[in-house]
Amino acid sequence: MQLTPVLSAHWDEPDSFTLDGYRRQGGYGALPKALGRPPDEIVQLVKDSGLRGRGGAGFPTGMKWGFIPQGDGKPHYLVVNADESEPGTCKDTPLLMANPHVLVEGIVIASYAIRASHAFIYIRGEIVHVLRRVQAAVAEAYAAGFLGKDILGSGFDLELTVHAGAGAYICGEETALLDSLEGRRGQPRLRPPFPAIAGLYACPTVVNNVESIASVPAIVEHGAEWFRAMGTEKSAGFTLYSLSGHVVRPGQYEAPLGVTLRELLDLAGGVREGHELKFWTPGGSSTPLLTAAHLDVPLDYEGVGAAGSMLGTKALQIFDETTCVVRAVLRWTEFYKHESCGKCTPCREGTYWLVQVLDRLERGEGTEADLDTLLDLSDNILGRAFCALGDGATSPITSSIQYFREEYLAHLEGRGCPFDPVAATVFAGAHAS
């Protein structure tokens, strides 16, 4: 297994986030090449590359661009989703901190391809230094003529607005993000119509994740074949895998799609010393939990799907045997309850009841029948709301009951949690090593 740093290749340069630092590594080299070709060729190139959305759903990026109607007389918009909030997900944040210009270059290319003249970066508000770095990069790009009127003499104009959110997980959902960007409560819209037809201000809009757009300049520079040579047949290219939790060297590992957790853990020094893997998420808390039995599952869209979960955001949260799975699941469920926007009844009411039931189970005050209630509730939430937040809320519950039913029962038999929370902390780990 080989690491393939592309997006992260120069993050160890002290000025990698500046225009000078980016250009020294060949940055903005793809832009004139793209602007010198017809827009439809760029769309086709991205289709040919096999690039799939890195925000979780894995929808083919080029196909999304191809859905934008042309010659319709309406303004088109590109909106970059930088509202990184899925629990465990921490890839776009370091990317934007260390290399915001690769996103800006990707935005100009993508906007040219879909014939948009105004693009937006919607950044979650709770990380102000990411916002600073992106604001500065956009200002530098304007000053250098990579944004604004007649970019590089091509006749193409693009305005780019940096927009800070205000704290709402649901705004990572693309239609809620659009409502939020329109100055409203961030609540998902019913589809169809999809954003490609009626998105921002009811105009054709592409919403793409940061990492997806940031991958575009390298594809333009090196070609679709180069990109497809990495990864697997249906999951092409490189991507950022984020390891966190009970692992020796947590962090970002850029590798071809299809590596396994066993390979990544090997690189990251393994589970912390003296402990063993208990459960993990392949792509954030909304993706069903996996266990040590899944160490050799290829981490691509198909492989993780076949294992009963989803690749999601490739946020690999690693938990060892000191972690109480009931506590972990309760906390995630409290998160979904807090972040449910309230629009759809199954999600709004369902997450509320899930917390009630899980809470009493964790305190050892529930009954075995509560497990059936949890599964029944989950069944009534899944697929019954406008967006996937409610679906995500059921993932940790159904998967943890599937793999760790005995642990739920142990809470009932022991009339409380059998785990010592101190043993799971990094402070305890420090004493052990």
Partner 1 sequence: MALTESTREEMRAIIARYPKPRSALLPMLHLVQAEEGHVTPEGVALCAELLDLTTAEVAAVVTFYSMYKRRPVGDYHVGVCTNTLCAVLGGDAIFAALKEHLDVGNDETTADGTITLEHVECNAACDYAPVLMVNWEFFDNQTVESAKELVDRLRAGQEVTSTRGPRVRTFREVERVLAGFPDGLAGEGPAAGPASLAGLSLARQRGDTAATAPVDTPPAAKEA
Residues 219-278 that bind partner 1 (CB under 8 A): 225-226, 228-230, 232-233, 238, 241-246, 249-256, 267-268
Residues 277-316 that bind partner 1 (CB under 8 A): 285, 315
* Partners of 81 in the β-ladder: 122, 209
Q: Is residue 93 close enough to count as binding partner 1 by CB under 8 A? A: yes
Q: How many CB atoms lie within 10 A of CB 364?
A: 16
Is the Cβ of residue 3 or residue 197 nearer to partner 1 in the bound state? 3
Q: For the CB of residue 153, give the shortest distance to partner 1 in the complex, in Å.
A: 25
Q: For the CB of residue 389, give the shortest distance to partner 1 in the complex, in Å.
A: 13
Q: Is residue 327 close enough to count as binding partner 1 by CB under 8 A? A: yes
* Binds partner 1 (CB under 8 A): choice among 35, 45, 90, 109: 90
Is the Cβ of residue 57 or residue 423 nearer to partner 1 in the bound state? 423
Helices (H) and strands (E) in the chain, counts: 18, 9
Q: Is residue 378 close enough to count as binding partner 1 by CB under 8 A? A: no
Contact in structure between 322 and 419 (CB atoms under 8 Å): yes
Q: For the CB of residue 37, give the shortest distance to partner 1 in the complex, in Å.
A: 21
Residues 48-67 that bind partner 1 (CB under 8 A): none
Dihedral sign computed on CA atoms, order 338, 342, 344, 346: positive
Stretch that binds partner 1, among 106-114, 127-135, 206-214, 347-355 (CB under 8 A): 127-135
Q: For the CB of residue 126, give the shortest distance to partner 1 in the complex, in Å.
A: 5
Q: Is residue 6 close enough to count as binding partner 1 by CB under 8 A? A: yes
The conformational region for residue 39 under phi > 0 = left, psi -120 to 50 = alpha, else beta, is alpha
Q: For the CB of residue 307, give the shortest distance to partner 1 in the complex, in Å.
A: 21
Is the Cβ of residue 35 or residue 236 nearer to partner 1 in the bound state? 236
Q: What is the DSSP string of 220-249?
A: HHH-HHHHHTSB-SSSBSEEEEEEEESBSS
Q: Is residue 70 close enough to count as binding partner 1 by CB under 8 A? A: no
Is the Cβ of residue 85 or residue 373 nearer to partner 1 in the bound state? 85
Instruction: Mention every residue, 6+ apart, whose C-beta is less than 8 A from residue 399.
Output: 288, 289, 290, 308, 309
Packed helices 389-413 and 325-339: angle between N→C axes, nearest 10 degrees: 150
Pairing of the two strands 290-291 and 251-256 = unpaired
* Binds partner 1 (CB under 8 A): choice among 33, 38, 40, 166: 166
User: Does residue 357 sit in helix, strand or coil?
Assistant: helix
Q: Is residue 416 close enough to count as binding partner 1 by CB under 8 A? A: no
Stretch that binds partner 1, among 63-71, 191-199, 375-383, 418-426 (CB under 8 A): 418-426
Instruction: Mention every residue, 6+ apart, whose C-beta is less than 8 A from residue 146.
Output: 28, 31, 104, 105, 108, 152
d(Cα 109, Cα 341) in Å, to the nearest integer? 34
Stretch that binds partner 1, among 101-109, 133-141, 191-199, 290-298 (CB under 8 A): 133-141
Q: Is residue 186 close enough to count as binding partner 1 by CB under 8 A? A: yes
Contact in structure between 400 and 371 (CB atoms under 8 Å): no
Is the Cβ of residue 165 or residue 204 nearer to partner 1 in the bound state? 165
Q: How many residues bind to partner 1 according to rule CB under 8 A?
A: 103
Residues 13-32 that bind partner 1 (CB under 8 A): 13-18, 21
d(Cα 39, Cα 78) in Å, to the nearest integer? 14
